[in-house]
Amino acid sequence: DGDDITEIENYVKANFNTRNQEYFGKAKGMNVIYVSLESFQTFMIDYKLNGQEVTPFLNRLVHDKNTFYFDNFFHQTGQGKTSDAEFMMENALFPLPQGAVFMTKAQNTYQALPAILKGQGYTSASFHGNYKSFWNREQMYKSLGYENFFDGEFYTMSDENTINYGMKDKPFFAESMPLLEGLQEPFYAKFISLSNHFPFPLDEEDVTFPAGDFGDTAVNQYFQTAHYMDEALQQFFEDLKAKGLYDRTVIVLYGDHYGISENHHKAMAKVLGTEITPFENAQLQRTPLYIHVPGTEGKIVHTYGGQVDIRPTVLHLLGIETNEYITFGSDLLAVDREQTVPFRNGDFVTKDFTFIKGVCYVNETGVEIDNRSCDSINEVVKTMLDLSDKVVYGDLLRFYHPSGFTPVDRTTLDYSKIDV
Ligand code: GP9
Ligand code: MN
């Protein structure tokens, strides 16, 4: 009830209330684009297959002068996969320990990014080349406050344009451009890519990169679909430049979750030239995060963080205060932040330690040490996950009223395509 949310409010304000004043408001009033990079893991950055870079565009972007790149960034998804990542980005809450929050808690009250930005004059839209019932997005997006949802109905879902889960990334981004241009600025737009999805199939005409040779079809093909996605993104960036949007848009690219599961460790050992121990597997949960901010000098940031930390980071760049909102994460550009990254199963990584299935490892060496080194952080992680779960299971944001925030009215939102 109301008492519980007050306790939680006090906890998050005491623990996550930090920022970097130097960057606060640097992107004030700019458009915001998020791109979900399907199944894209950090080990792919700068990886060379037979001497050839797999993702040359994304490799270069790491060093772009207006881009912050985070090399110790981790996904924190559970069974809800892509949708769990979306949930964290927009709510700064953890997804659920079981099932997908998009499926089971879509009718909750949220104070999510699209609704927060609406209060600052932003239009919001999600773009995805699959149909709106997938992951129950149609219902959940209404609760998150999305004004537009361009799903498969808005795309040419022909045989040539689709494979696996839906639109191929190249036609997806190409067909998205006119829809994006039709939005009133400033906009908040989210693009959910699909081509780099397990088991990573490509039509022959889309193959522009050799397959790997690691004795595992999915792993071998992962290089090809990642390369295809890289080319699609490059085209998307060029289109944004051509339309004049690039210089007034913050672009956030993030890997949604791992692509190569533990079932493929034999091949992954060959890919990386090292045995995939539980410690290594935890390190492999890194996914890339890029934040491009026009006019601001970027850098490679080594802070340890996860998807739950993105919302305060982006809001602060936009010059929007986050104290008012229940936020289980902290600004990745702040220098005094706690660098604790809970995984959804209660394991965690910090800048010093990795804690997996009850075993504590030192990051620097990967060697096990006395569990007591991880004990106090373990308690913090349990508390974070537990309090966040209380918010979601108890629908506690019903009782919370951030000042200046207009609650979402689901009944005003409708995503059906109206043919004219
Ligand atoms: C489908 C897309 C892929 O709409 O989000 O889902 P995933 O299996 O990665 O969660
Ligand atoms: Mn996904």
**Separation of alpha carbons 243 and 266, rounded Å:** 45
Residue 27 to residue 30: CA distance in whole angstroms: 6
Q: What is the pLDDT of residue 419?
A: 67
pLDDT at 252: 99
The atom of ligand 1 lying closest to the CA of 80 is: 10
Q: Please indicate whether residue 82, judged by its CB atom, sits closer than 6 Å to ligand 1.
A: yes
State the residue for tokens 């739950």. Answer: 308
Using 70 as the pLDDT threshold, list the residues of the chain that sit under it.
419-420
Is 289:69 a contact under the CB 8 Å cutoff?
yes
What are the structure tokens assigned to 140, written together? 């959940």
Give backbone dihedrals phi and psi of 32, rounded to 5 degrees, phi first.
-130, 125
Q: What φ, ψ does residue 228 adopt, rounded to 5°?
A: -60, -45
Does the beta carbon of 81 sit less than 6 angstroms from any atom of ligand 1? yes
Question: 3-state secondary structure string, 374-393?
Answer: HHHHHHHHHHHHHHHHHHHH
Q: Which of 321, 340, 331 is nearest to 384 (CA)?
A: 340
Q: Which residues have a catalytic role annotated?
A: 82
Query: Does the beta carbon of 130 sit less than 6 angstroms from any atom of ligand 1?
Result: yes
The ipTM estimated for the assembled molecules is 0.98
Which atom, in ligand 1's list, is nearest to the CA of 256? 9
Cα-based distances in Å from 146 to 66, 119, 173, 413:
28, 13, 19, 8
Rounded-to-integer distance, Cα 141 and Cα 204, Å: 35
Q: What is the pLDDT of residues 173-188, one digit of tens each?
A: 999 999 999 999 999 9
| Cα 395 to middle of ligand 2, angstroms | 26
pLDDT at site 420: 55
Q: Token pair of 361, please?
A: 């490892």
The residues that bridge with 305 in the sheet, in sequence order, are 73
Residue 55 to residue 224: CA distance in whole angstroms: 10
**Helix, strand or coil for residue 119?**
coil
What pLDDT shows up at residue 1?
72
- In DSSP notation, 157-179 reads --TTTEETTEE-HHHHHHHHHHH
pLDDT of the residue at 128: 98
Output the residue whose Cα is nearest ligand 1's atom 9: 82
**Closest ligand 1 atom to 36 CA:** 5
Start-to-end C-alpha separation, the chain: 47
Query: What are the pLDDT digits (tens) for 134-163?
Result: 999 999 999 999 999 999 999 999 999 999
Q: Bridge partners of 354?
A: 349, 361
CB neighbour list of residue 244: distance below 8 Å, 6 or more residues apart = none
* Residue 2 pLDDT: 78
Sign of CA dihedral 187, 251, 179, 107: negative
